[in-house]
A = this chain, B = another copy of it.
């Protein structure tokens, strides 16, 4: 046995190799546990390059401040790419990066299940 174990040594490091440690897990999950993050990734993944306004419309109920914060974060973290065209009126398009696509692939089954699950959630109970 090695005493270089991670039990309570350096939190947030060796945890990566310890399947029983869920401390933080850092970046991605932290990012995904913000409002609309999951949906944004999936929306962009399904529709391809999307404009800011289209995302806003697709959601229907997001404050633009929160949405643009989320987009900034996702761009900053390398999951989304932002392409800006210098036209009038302005045009900006968001698309998944390669990493973003990987993420979206893991998110897709969840989203599909969520949609179906919600549909039947009002159905008669079978106890």
Residues of A in contact with B (beta carbons under 8 Å apart): 11-12, 16, 19-29, 32-39, 42-43, 46-47, 58-61, 99, 102-103, 106-107, 109-111, 113-115, 117-119, 121
- Enumerate chain B residues within 8 angstroms of A119, measured Cβ to Cβ: 16
Give the complex CA separation of A20 and B60 in angstroms. 12
Q: Is there contact, CB below 8 Å, between B117 and A11?
A: no
Give the complex CA separation of A12 and B32 in angstroms. 22
- Enumerate chain B residues within 8 angstroms of A28, measured Cβ to Cβ: 114, 117-118
- Enumerate chain B residues within 8 angstroms of A36, measured Cβ to Cβ: 33
Once A24-B59, A24-B60, A106-B110 are accepted as A-B contacts, the answer to whether A29 and B33 lie under 8 Å apart by CB is no
Once A25-B39, A33-B32 are accepted as A-B contacts, the answer to whether A16 and B118 lie under 8 Å apart by CB is yes
Q: Is there contact, CB below 8 Å, between A25 and B60?
A: no
Shortest C-beta distance, A117 to chain B (Å), equals 6
Give the complex CA separation of A94 and B49 in angstroms. 42
- Enumerate chain B residues within 8 angstroms of A113, measured Cβ to Cβ: 102-103, 106
User: Which B-chain residue is minimally distant from A19 (CB atoms)?
Assistant: B46
